[in-house]
Chains A and B, each alone.
Chain A
Amino acid sequence: MAASFDLKNDGVVVIIGSGAGGGTLGNELAQKGIDVVILEAGARHEYEDFINDEWDSFAQLAWKDKRTTSGDWRVAKDFPNLPAWIVKSVGGSTTHWAGASLRFQEHEFKTASTYGKLEGANLLDWPITLAEMEPYYAKAEAKMGVTGTNDWPRLPGNNNFKVLKAGADKLGYKECHTGNMAINSVERDDRNSCQQTGFCFQGCKWGAKWSTLYTEIPKGEATGHLEVRPNAMAIKINHDASGKVTGVVYADKDGKLQEQKARIVAVAGNSIESPRLLLNSQSAKFPHGLANSSGQVGKNYMRHTTGSVYAIFDKPVHMYRGTTMAGIIRDEARHDPSRGFVGGYEFETLSLGLPFMAAFLNPGGWGRSFTTALDHYDHMAGLWIVGEDMPREENRIMLHADEKDEHGMPIADVHFDDHPNDTAMRNHAYKQASALYDAVGATRTFPTPPYPSTHNLGTNRMSGKAEHGVVNKHGQTHDIKNLFVSDGSQFTTGAAENPTLTIVSLAIRQADYIAAQMSAKTI
């Protein structure tokens, strides 16, 4: 049965956010008998409540609170108040994610030493290696039911995949399959297998795709050690005179401010909200925000070098049928500077329904060049580019100078400029993807600009030395022993792979560390 903890209970671990990082950490700690309160800003919608309709689902799940943007990315012009497409709901963005679960490559933990000095890039090696991560990756894959691991079969390929595969074969790509997906290809974990419904981004109504909402969270609740408090928007983390954190102030469902006392606080609100909360927790003792002695909180914001390529054929495809992202080409994920950039990228199948295709194919576009593309919607195939982008200090989350939200908290301002390496990589990927579709007989291809960011990373980064980042190799802040970061904002660099598997692996690892430190009474 789900626990219910008193606001004054200062023995609990308070986790802010219930997504891949927070939801996983909460369950892992609860399984060890540690009492946990998860504060979740959004409401609780169970999977049968999800909606197979793009705009209606967006209204139900998306984080729509106003943010501002600047920089040379097109999102700042086309969606100035929607820099990210992430979720405000129990389960966080694991309700919305597509399920792609890839381990990072060895060199991606060592980018500064592998790529060398790159002007305008704030590269740094992770303080952990692939070898240290491997046992946790294995635990995460087992937990999430990742296809292509643990003898679980890969998903069958849909129409969009078949077009991708045909093109990959023509171009001579070797590693193309339906991916490593945290989507049940067989019934397991008391959940359905994939019914090829599409609408993966709108929440899986079968519960076949792993989400903390219906895996980690109910399992944690069943221990009696976990309480998930929805509609609880964290505003500020309090600390005592010694600098240890003591509790979290949040606005409850009625907008009333409450404080939940805590022994340990773990921040997992995604890479925009997590630094926003740390910065907003500034005090006389910490005038630049919590855990910010390095000045790195909010900096090095990464969003992956993304983009899409859609192609029209003279015969039907119906790309929207079936699992949205079960299709990958990994050949370009290698680090090979002869291509004109460092790092690499993945190609993954992607489709949007007609309403979102109209909104995102060429935002602001109109006239026949635009509409004749949509006229052939059912003859379209599509893919997404996911590549490593360069961390830059100037790319950052800040508190807005004057605009505040309904609780009086400054809204987040997001600045992003592409690094020349990002642009070179994207252009390479556009060219390769167009060639791929041309090889299958495409009559027209569309290099489509990046959408509002789904992979938000790096704004509280992990570093070996305290002056280079915000947290250590366990996600513990360098400055405050009982304050942790548990989401993708810990990423030192972004790698080419979708981030969720690594976030979950880090959370499992962090839970072991927190439990050990609690037993040792060091925190």
Chain B
Amino acid sequence: MTTTTIETTAVRPPRTGFALSQKQVWGLLFVAPYIAIFMAFVVFPVGYAFWLARDPQLYVELVHDPIFLRTAINTLVFLIVAINVKMVIALFVSGFFTNKRWWVKILSVLFVLPWAVPSIPTILSMRFMLNPEWGVINQLIFTLTTEDGPNWLNDPTLALALSMVVHIWKSLPFWTLILLAGRLAIPHELYEAASVDGAGSWHRFAYITWPSISTLYVTCTLLSMIFTVGDFNSVYLLTGGGPADLTHVLSTLGIRYLRLDQVGLAMASIVCCLPFVLPLVFFMMKRLSK
């Protein structure tokens, strides 16, 4: 195909547009594999999903499902609490890692482990730590207080809170590294000047660090929010949505409906979420595709 293009254009008298159009043909060829993947595995599935979710009756059914309402609230709580707690800790810890001491450097290398290793073994490890009878946490509580610890994952509030802890454990390193990169990009002279003026650490943070990285901080928070809507592992591997389907978030609920062979409901639950997620996505795209 390419050779024919070259031959037919070669007959024409050379002009400036020739190189350009050949470049365009090559451009299309180079981008074709991605377009093919995008069509087959994004456009088609999404289109199909909307087609499956077209029946208005599905939404009536969804709203009448108490698990769906509970899930919507859980997801909202998860997003607001877990992400803000995580980002504040990341902001604080990234400041700690700007220290140049040798042991802080070693610690910063170890600190990335939760992010680098697969979720499944570590989350299952935490799940076992929380086991009411054999788990190390309740054993510790028993040795210290001679009383039985709580049945952690059997209480919906505790279980959801612990899923948030798992989520924070897993993704804190990533956001800390990004905020650390942001902090390290601040010119050092600013801090030196502030020291000369006798500014304490709080003033240095409030007048130099925060103004320099606040945009980055907000970007990270929003980005983390979008990603966390899709966080399946933290909840599914720790609580499985239980007890009594009270700790589902949107990402695990869709899979639950799928397992119950209610694909329409699964799609409808995702479509319901789009009015909240899409504005965030467009906002982020505007911010990042300058």
Same assembly: no
Query: A interface vs B, CB < 8 Å?
Result: none
Query: B interface vs A, CB < 8 Å?
Result: none
